[in-house]
Amino acid sequence: MSAQLPDFNRGAVKPMECLRGGWDLIKDQYWLFLGMAFVAVFIGSALPMGILMGPMMCGLYMALFSRQRGERVTFDILFKGFDFFADSIIATLIHVVPLMVILIPTYLVSFAVFFSNFKPGRRGEPPDLFPIFALLSIIFVVVMIASLAIGAFFIFTYPLIVDRRLSGLNAVKTSIRAAAANLGGILGLLFLTMLLTFAGLLLCYVGAFFVMPIGFAAWSVAYRQVFSTRDVPPAPPVF
C-alpha cells in the first residue's frame, strides 16, 4: 500500500446535503441496504472490542461507493470487506483503545459509588438513591459525548481503507486530519443522524433500524465531499 496520504477538502461537509444525498443514493435499493446494514452491525458486534466491525463496515462502504459509481449492488459485496481484514482490525483497535481508557475506569468508579451506599449491616433509613442516579446520569452523558467526539475523528477511516487502499494506521491518521479540517460539518451531520436515530427509537425502537442505512449513506456522501474522486485507485473487481 502506498505511503502517500491523500489530499482532502476543508470545510466541505454540508450536513443537510449529505442526508438528502444519502437517501437519494440508496432509495432504489433501500431494502437491500437495510439488510446489509443490519447484518453488518449484527456480525460486527458478535465479538469483543468490535473486531469484526471493521471488515463489515469496509464491505458496507464498498457497496455504497459502488452505488455512487452508478453500479447495481448485490448483497455479497458486504463480505468483500474481509479483503481488508488486517487493516480494518488495526484501525478498529486504534479507535477502541482510547474508548476503553475512558470507559473502564468510569464503569469501575460508577459501580463503586453505587454499591458504597449498600454496606452490609447498615441500619436506619434506606439510602437516598436520587443523588446517586443523578451523578451516574451525568457520568453517562459525559462519557457518551466523549465517545462521540472521539468517534468523529475516525469517521472516514474505513472508507479510506477501501477507497484509497490505505493501511489501517494511515487511514486513521488521514481521517483525524480530515475530520479536524471539517469538524463543524461532521458534528452537524452527527447531530442530524442522532436526531434521525432518536426519531426511529420513538417508533417502538425498531424504527432505528430503518433509518440506519440512511445514516451510513449520508456519511458516504460526506466522505466524497471531503475526498474527491481525483486520483482514486480503480475499484477491485467483484466476482
Ordered mean pLDDT values, 10 residues apiece, the chain (239 residues): 77 95 95 95 87 94 96 94 95 86 74 66 57 73 79 94 95 95 95 88 79 95 89 52
Using alpha carbons, select from 162, 165, 181 the residue that is nearest to residue 4: 165
| C-alpha cell recorded at residue 6 | 491523500
Grid look-up 475499484 returns: 235
The answer for residues whose C-beta is within 8 angstroms of residue 135's C-beta and 6 or more apart is 113
In angstroms, the CA 196 to CA 227 distance is: 25
Which cell numbers in the block locate residue 49? Answer: 472490542
With beta carbons less than 8 A apart as the criterion, state whether 218 and 22 touch: yes
Please tell me the pTM assigned to this model. Answer: 0.81
Output the nine-digit C-alpha cell for 202. 420513538
Residue 13 DSSP label: -
> Which one-letter amino acid corresponds to residue 194?
M
- In the prediction, which pLDDT does 24 show? 96
Whether the Cβ atoms of residue 225 and residue 218 lie closer than 8 Å to each other = no
CA distance 185 to 176: 14
State the burial class of residue 92 (Cβ atoms within 10 Å of its Cβ: 0-12, 13-18, 19+): buried
What integer pLDDT is reported at residue 239 of this predicted model?
A: 44
CA atoms within 13 A on the CB side of 66: 21
pLDDT at residue 192, rounded to an integer: 93
Residues 234, 50: contact at Cβ < 8 Å?
Answer: no
Give the pLDDT score at 121. 54
